[in-house]
Structure 1
Amino acid sequence: MSTAELNHAGTPVRQPVHFIGIGGVGMSAVARIMVARDVAVSGSDAKDLPVMHDLEAQGARIAVGYDAANVGPAGTVVAGSAIRADNPELLAARDAGIPVLHRSEALAALMGEDRVVTVAGTHGKTTTTSMITVLLKGIGLDPSYAIGAAVPALGVNAASGADDVFVAEADESDGSFLNYSPRIAVVTNVEADHLDHYGTADAVYRAFDDFAALLPADGLLVICADDDGAAALADRVAAAGHTRVLRYGASEAADLRLLGTASDPSVLIGEQEHPLRLTVPGRHNQLNALAALGVALELGVNADDALAALEDFRGAARRFEFKGEVGGIRVYDDYAHHPTEVRAALNAARTVAGEHRLHVLFQPHLFSRTREFAQEFAESLRLADTAVVLDIYPAREDPIPGVSSELITAYLGTKPSEPGERAVEAVLRGAGEGDVVLTVGAGDVTAYGALILDALEDAVAHG
């Protein structure tokens, strides 16, 4: 499949495209853009997910369950890293000689000749990509975009826009962020993670070097000066001199410098100080906003207009997302699944809780990550007044002998909680009016928000 075949609406596409795992947030984003550009799209997934009904209503052919027949007349098949090698549709495509693209390759083809903005980093990718998109739409541009979560201010996580700007979250977890050709690249931070793929921390750092090297000579690397890994990357790129570097953060080395307090921040642009007004809490979100500002300035947006547009950002799904309040107890949900992310989410929750207590229900994600960072997870969870830990959500991994949530709870002096009602009871034990309850993790812990609110409703109803 050529880039031209997947270009902007109006360009003819000769063959249908089939997505294996179309219900995934990344896969559905690419499919949504293709449908909007009049590509004949089909797709399947193991589960019947709401996004699949949305795509079907827009004209995609959707199947629940994997079957070789689902591939149909497809001329290209798109699959993500989570699809197993023995998937019957993947096998059928290979047997038939149908080209198989990784999701990132299909997304890269859609970018065509647009001015591409890619956002990478161990943490903060989704929020920063969302901020950039909301900002650009707020000042009147109509970019194409693909984001790793639904964004309330946008209504969806992906769209085909009329302007020649394409904003995309670039996932480093499987190395696929190297498949893009950005003009502007954002790096929020660089830490060791996804060692199941990379093997070593050094391999992670080298991958980010390769990501920065994708930029052309007249491109721009927008990078956080406050993160040690990102700052070191910035120094290497600046020393090589192959592209421009714009640093942001509270560091004196920052070109866009964060000033003021956590509750009253501002940003120094050149010699002029501007107030930074956000509705999302946390110092990490202030840094994410500076990254978005850096992108906007590079695209020619006026600083005051950009900062005003950022005020409209209300967050992304599962990024410190407010789920509801019952009896004065506020319930939030966050996707954090690395110790640094957990620490940032809990610090933001502390800001919201104020003088009240913070109660956390945490679900570790991946056996390999739990093995590598058990102690760090425990240290992050100590920021809460109470922390309840569920069993590990395996995602794409098979169990690793000797690896369980007990590696974390041993440092906390507790035991993992049983799932379901026991976990709800445990996290609500001792919660009172004014407190904050936060569910944390990249797995199905997100479903506990509704269960917690139901339990609170029941408690209020029965006095």
Structure 2
Amino acid sequence: MSSEFLPTWKVDSLKKHLDVGSTTTNSVYIMNGVANWITYQGMQNAIAGKKDNTRTTDGRLGVSMQFPAIPPPNVLELSIKFRCESDGPFISASTTSRELNISVSSDFTTDCTRTECEKQKLKRWIHFVGVGRCGMSALAMLALKQGSEVSGSDTAWSRIMDGLQEAGARFAIPSDTVEILHAKAMGVPVIKRGVWLEMTTKDYNLITVSGTHGKSTTASMLAYVLNAMGDDLTAIVGAHVPQFPGGNILLGSSPNLVLEADEYDDCFLQLLPFIAVITNVEWEHVDIFKDEEAVKNSFRKFLKKIKVGGHLVLCGDSEGACSLLNHTSLGNVRSVWRPQPLDAGYRVTTYGIANRNEWRALSIRQNSRGGTDYALHHKGCLVANISLQLAGVHNDLNSLAVIATIRTLIDDRWPTQELINCMKLHLNNFIGVSRRLENIVNINNCHIFDDYAHHPTEVCAVLQAARQKFPLKALLVIFQPHTFSRLATFLKDFATAFRDADRVIITEVYSAREENIWNISGTDLASSIIGPPSEFIPFVVDVVDKLAREISSSPGQELFILTLGAGDVTNVGPSLLQKLQHILWGGSTTR
């Protein structure tokens, strides 16, 4: 797509973006709905007359559709030509007093005279809705690197979109979403994210990482270590990974693909993994799953997607994860020191701290880098001492999942001890994932960190890691609840999740996609917290102002500030830095 052209399919946008005579190497698309896509071939089908055919005055076949909108003043006609080669399709737009009519026509005949070779030369054009989110942005970046033209839309700009734009993607920020309706009206395929993932991964040796918590870090760590060991693999992760050149993807030439597989909306049920990693299972996404049993049923369906002869790598310390195996001959996971063939057609390897696991982390202790060291045991025998830069027992478990998975993948092609030594080296070099206890800035003895935690279990885990990292500093937590449904469901669990903090500030709920039918607010959580003193400050900007005044008035105070949540609470750190620099004017900062 030419850089000067970006159709957004609103009348005011057409006035702004459509230039008479603009050309492009691809075709028009229209798109809407979270996690959907369309292709140039779909447009060909529409133009070729497979739906709602009309004929232009010169006999060419076309498609016509209406955009019910008030046209901009003084605009009588807009025209733009799309060229695939020298004779490609074109689109024209004209207005009347009540509507904007778009007609698409082409020199393609109904029997599609282009050869298959010619069609292969045409770049695929994919449009992603919700492209500002981690999961969708990864798919968009992968499509860019595979040579597709990429565009996208979202309700607001996000930092994730910056890298995509630099890589060549084009974006629109519509005031409403109309693309999917227009796509369907024109006969353009509209496909959900799960189907797109299935199509993207079907030709790979697929390794999925699933679970309620820890998916992003485990998938990133696994892909990083495999890549460092020489596997030129592909990886798709729902978070920014500083050590990935592509941000949240790797694109390689080997047959292996590591995918963070999300259970939300049963998206992962379209996948067919050879190796499936499950980190844990708890009730989450309460807007999708009515209770914990519904979550487990979804995961049980996912286990049936593992290919025959494949492998399940499962955290044996997670009661929810182990309960998934009740339908197999393995039962409730007692002592599993040897991968067992199951009735389901795949083998199981477990990891954790408990004695029943094949891979175990023992003698866990803090190291000088703020991370953890532990003794790695396999089948009851000490095989290595592992050192991580990441803090928290949950990251020890994540690393165990990586070790167990790589050992399963490589099997007997490497001697066990040589393989473990190689993994040990690269695990030691992994620095983590953005928004996972990420250091934002240090200023005037104040350390500001940020984390994505928005579930009670995640809050407990990150506070434990924070205490490990800074055992003697006062810990101030700023928590932004994410969605009303989650807060209403887990209010009691949240109330006890902040015990490791010295002080807690609760903001108003980040509503995301929800209306507040639960009649709940951040103030309900602030008044319920057991342990540290807490207060309710509704707006993030007011939190920044309050902290700036406190820190600047006590410049020598040792303070560890941790922002938690999946919403815009992540902006507190950068905003606070900017305000403190202005107040202190010349105070040293270290990013």
CA distance in 2, matches of 1:395, 1:421: 18
Q: Is the 8 A contact 1:371 1:407 kept in 2?
A: no
Q: Is the 8 A contact 1:364 1:390 kept in 2?
A: yes
**Counterparts in 2 of 1:258 and 1:89: CA distance versus 1, 3 Å:** same
Q: What's the offset of the Cα at 1:141? A: 1.2
| Aligned partner (choices 384, 399, 407) of residue 274 of structure 1 | 384
- The alignment partner of 2:497 has SS state of helix
TM-score by length of 1: 0.88
CA distance in 2, matches of 1:12, 1:215: 35
Matches within 5 A, 1:439-454: 439-454=563-578
Q: What's the offset of the Cα at 1:38? A: 1.8
Counterpart in 1 of 2:298? Answer: 207
Counterpart in 1 of 2:356? Answer: 253
Superimposed CA distance per residue, residues 51-102 of structure 1 (whole angstroms, 9 cap, x where no aligned partner):
4453344343x132238xxxxxxxxxxxxxxxxxx82001111222222122
Is the aligned partner of 1:296 residue 2:406? yes
**Counterparts in 2 of 1:173 and 1:311: CA distance versus 1, 3 Å:** same
Q: Which moves more between the two structures, 115-124 or 21-30?
A: 21-30
Counterpart in 1 of 2:461? Answer: 344
Counterpart in 2 of 1:30? Answer: 139
CA distance in 2, matches of 1:288, 1:96: 46
Q: Is the 8 A contact 2:506 2:537 kept in 1?
A: yes
CA distance in 2, matches of 1:418, 1:35: 40
CA distance in 2, matches of 1:15, 1:450: 38
Q: What's the offset of the Cα at 1:150? A: 0.8
Q: What's the offset of the Cα at 1:12? A: 6.6
- The alignment partner of 1:247 has SS state of strand
CA distance in 2, matches of 1:13, 1:25: 28
AA aligned opposite 1:199: K
Q: What's the offset of the Cα at 1:19? A: 1.6
CA distance in 2, matches of 1:422, 1:50: 22
**Counterparts in 2 of 1:236 and 1:452: CA distance versus 1, 3 Å:** farther
Q: What's the offset of the Cα at 1:422? A: 3.0
Q: What's the offset of the Cα at 1:171? A: 1.0
Counterpart in 2 of 1:121? Answer: 211
Counterpart in 2 of 1:71? Answer: none
**Counterparts in 2 of 1:53 and 1:410: CA distance versus 1, 3 Å:** closer
Q: Is the 8 A contact 1:122 1:189 kept in 2?
A: yes
Q: Is the 8 A contact 2:38 2:189 kept in 1?
A: no
Identity fraction in percent: 34
**Counterparts in 2 of 1:214 and 1:13: CA distance versus 1, 3 Å:** farther
CA distance in 2, matches of 1:2, 1:317: 30
Larger radius of gyration: 2
| Aligned partner (choices 519, 524, 530) of residue 407 of structure 1 | 524
**Counterparts in 2 of 1:414 and 1:32: CA distance versus 1, 3 Å:** closer
Q: What's the offset of the Cα at 1:420? A: 3.8
Counterpart in 2 of 1:334? Answer: 451
Unaligned 5+ segments in structure 2 are 1-36, 42-119, 332-341, 367-372
Runs (4+) off by over 6 Å: 11-14
CA distance in 1, matches of 2:445, 2:403: 36
Higher relative helix content: 1
Q: Is the 8 A contact 1:133 1:143 kept in 2?
A: yes
Superimposed CA distance per residue, residues 20-66 of structure 1 (whole angstroms, 9 cap, x where no aligned partner):
22222211211211222222333223334444453344343x13223
Is the aligned partner of 1:162 residue 2:253? yes
**Counterparts in 2 of 1:420 and 1:196: CA distance versus 1, 3 Å:** closer
Counterpart in 2 of 1:262? Answer: 365
Counterpart in 2 of 1:359? Answer: 476
Counterpart in 1 of 2:82? Answer: none
AA aligned opposite 1:44: S
| Aligned partner (choices 422, 431, 436) of residue 542 of structure 2 | 422
AA aligned opposite 1:289: S
| Aligned partner (choices 130, 136, 148) of residue 39 of structure 1 | 148
CA distance in 2, matches of 1:13, 1:209: 41
**Counterparts in 2 of 1:420 and 1:395: CA distance versus 1, 3 Å:** closer
CA distance in 2, matches of 1:462, 1:53: 29
AA aligned opposite 2:459: V
**Counterparts in 2 of 1:393 and 1:50: CA distance versus 1, 3 Å:** closer
Superimposed CA distance per residue, residues 389-418 of structure 1 (whole angstroms, 9 cap, x where no aligned partner):
000001111122421112211213744213
Q: What's the offset of the Cα at 1:131? A: 0.5
CA distance in 2, matches of 1:241, 1:2: 39
Counterpart in 2 of 1:285? Answer: 395
| Aligned partner (choices 424, 438, 458) of residue 562 of structure 2 | 438
| Aligned partner (choices 177, 186, 191) of residue 268 of structure 2 | 177
Unaligned 5+ segments in structure 1 are 6-10, 68-85
Query: Which structure has more RCO (C-alpha within 8 Å, separation ≥ 6)?
Result: 1
Counterpart in 2 of 1:70? Answer: none
TM-score by length of 2: 0.70
Q: Is the 8 A contact 1:361 1:438 kept in 2?
A: yes
- The alignment partner of 1:151 has SS state of coil
Is the aligned partner of 1:96 residue 2:186? yes
CA distance in 1, matches of 2:38, 2:275: 23
AA aligned opposite 2:319: D
Counterpart in 2 of 1:63? Answer: 171
**Counterparts in 2 of 1:12 and 1:116: CA distance versus 1, 3 Å:** farther
AA aligned opposite 2:470: A
